[in-house]
Amino acid sequence: MYDIIIIGSGPAGYVAAIRAGQTGMKCAIIERDTIGGMCLNWGCIPSKSLMESLKLYQKIIKESSRFGIDGIDKKAVSFNWNKAIKRSDGIVKKLTGGVEFLLKKNGVDVIKGEAKIVSANSVLVENRLLETKNIVVATGSTSPKIESDNANLVIDVKHLFTEREIPQNIVIAGKSPIAIELAQAFSMMEKEVTIISDGGSIMPKADPYISNYILNKLKKERIKILFNKSVESVKNKVKDGLLTLDSDEVRCDIIINALDRKGNIPLSDIPIETFNGYIVTDQNFETSVKGIFAVGDVNGKSMYAHIGSAQGLNVVNRLNGIDYKLEIEKLPMNMYTVPEAAQIGYTEDKIKESGVDYKISEFPLSANGKAQTEGGAEGFVRILSETKYGEVLGVQIVAPNATDMINEAAAYMQLESTVYDIAGTIHTHPTVSEVFMEAGFEAVDKAIHK
């Protein structure tokens, strides 16, 4: 009899399993594929590794002379996808090996195979019935299939980061930050890129101030975007290297499937409530079946690894008597665009809907000394604060390291800090993070360097 069985070993699942082991719970984790899930093996880590390779490549060919480096023959410099992938593979192997070690260290039984929920207290895997007090579903998500009459035309993100030849004309199907990141990555490789969005915008969960900023950036990079176009099926729509969508024709050698993802619903002999492709949970991440929880992508509350991990920790801690509410809106949202973007708290539209009086204070990176020295002065910090007491309601950042910088804002919001607290926090100089202090000054009175 296990105290807890976790189905899925991505960031939501393996973090929950490690925590369960740390608290003395008898825990098993079931994985049908590879430890680490999508994020470590085929998503977050490989894509970020590739992006770092491309950023270095771009800096060499575009900025080396400006940084005082002579002697580089730009015509002789090229980007080698396969070598970049080998570097990525080495990082993935190290990280997944570390996760396996931690699971073993904390006494977690790792079981390979397809899991089937038999009851609220039993799971079947490889003809083996396991009894448990609690079940946590952490099976992640997958993009819906794009139907095609060409077996080599459509590539899912899961299968993208392998050694291969990259053709010239790339179509990205999707509108999420993942889709935008991939579009910019291929554009940095001097490929012709088109984004096909099934909606009227990109990055719809981002504050429009950020999504519009990135949209303008894509236009400057000559990345073509088609809005309100469906690519559920491209059968008979690609001929002689051209993809035809209604009246639009797009040059197309491959299509990268980065469509909005849906939850991987596990096999089950008992009904578990779902809605719109996700498992329905309450604020404690418990499903319609008592004792069965769902965390991470599969519950549809967020598609971010760190939020899935936080949900997994929350469930295990609660089962051990540590009861607290996890406020999703106080967790950061990262977008690995170029430059990076990040936000936390409420968007401006949400604040308007609430009727709260608010003010906006913004400070540009172009006025920051460290950003200028690094050659990365594109972007801003934007703070939304309540007018009467100055409580921070939301923070938005566009900057080369926005996904790291947002964690400072997360600390402010966790402590319900005000703009007065931000303005009064002395930041070391020269650092890019000084823009927080300046934005705080701007909210309280006036920024010093603006």
CA distance 343 to 327: 15
Q: pLDDT category, 450, cuts 50, 70, 90?
A: confident
CA distance 307 to 295: 9
Q: What is the mean pLDDT of residues 190-203?
A: 97
CA distance 157 to 203: 17
Q: Give 374's contacts (C-beta < 8 A, 6+ positions apart).
A: 400, 432
Q: pLDDT category, 114, cuts 50, 70, 90?
A: very high
Burial of residue 445 (number of CB atoms within 10 Å: 0-12, 13-18, 19+):
exposed
pTM: 0.95
Q: What is the mean pLDDT of residues 117-138?
A: 97
| Helices 177-188, 208-220: inter-axial angle, 10-degree rounding | 20
**Per-residue pLDDT tens for 21-72?**
999 999 999 999 999 999 999 999 999 999 999 999 999 999 999 999 999 9
Let me know the angle formed at the C-alpha of 93 by 91 and 96, rounded to the nearest 5 degrees.
Answer: 105
Q: Give 277's contacts (C-beta < 8 A, 6+ positions apart).
A: 262, 263, 265, 300
pLDDT(449) > 90: no
**Per-residue pLDDT tens for 205-245?**
999 999 999 999 999 999 999 999 999 999 999 999 999 99
Strand partners, 129: 124
Peptide bond into 177 cis (omega under 30): no
**Per-residue pLDDT tens for 290-345?**
999 999 999 999 999 999 999 999 999 999 999 999 998 889 999 999 999 999 99
Residues 358 and 421: beta-carbon distance below 8 Å? no
Are both 154-257 and 339-444 of the same fold?
no
pLDDT at 329: 85
* CA nearest to 101, candidates 219, 20, 4, 14: 14
Q: pLDDT category, 447, cuts 50, 70, 90?
A: confident
Can you identify the CATH homologous superfamily of domain 154-257?
A: FAD/NAD(P)-binding domain (3.50.50.60)
pLDDT(2) > 90: yes
Higher-pLDDT residue of 106 and 151 is 106
Residues 303 and 147: beta-carbon distance below 8 Å? no
Residues 117 and 123: beta-carbon distance below 8 Å? yes
Burial of residue 22 (number of CB atoms within 10 Å: 0-12, 13-18, 19+):
middle
> Could you tell me the sign of the dihedral formed by the alpha carbons of 155, 161, 166, 172, in that order?
positive
pLDDT at 195: 98
**449 noted as active-site residue:** no
pLDDT at 446: 85
Domain ranges of the chain: 2-142+262-329, 154-257, 339-444
CA dihedral 303, 305, 306, 312 (to 10 degrees): 90
- The DSSP H or E segment spanning 249 is strand 248-251
pLDDT at 445: 86
pLDDT, averaged across the chain: 96
Q: What is the mean pLDDT of residues 11-20?
A: 98
pLDDT at 232: 92
Tokens of 301: 């509350």
pLDDT(448) > 90: no
Q: Give 419's contacts (C-beta < 8 A, 6+ positions apart).
A: 361, 383, 385, 390, 392, 440, 443, 444
User: What CATH number does domain 339-444 carry, 3.90.650.10, 3.30.310.50, 3.30.390.30, 3.50.50.60?
Assistant: 3.30.390.30
CA distance 351 to 371: 30
pLDDT at 21: 98
pLDDT at 123: 98
Of these residues, 306, 427, 429, 449, which one is catalytic? 429
Classified as helix, coil or strand, 122 is strand
Question: What CATH number labels 2-142+262-329?
Answer: 3.50.50.60
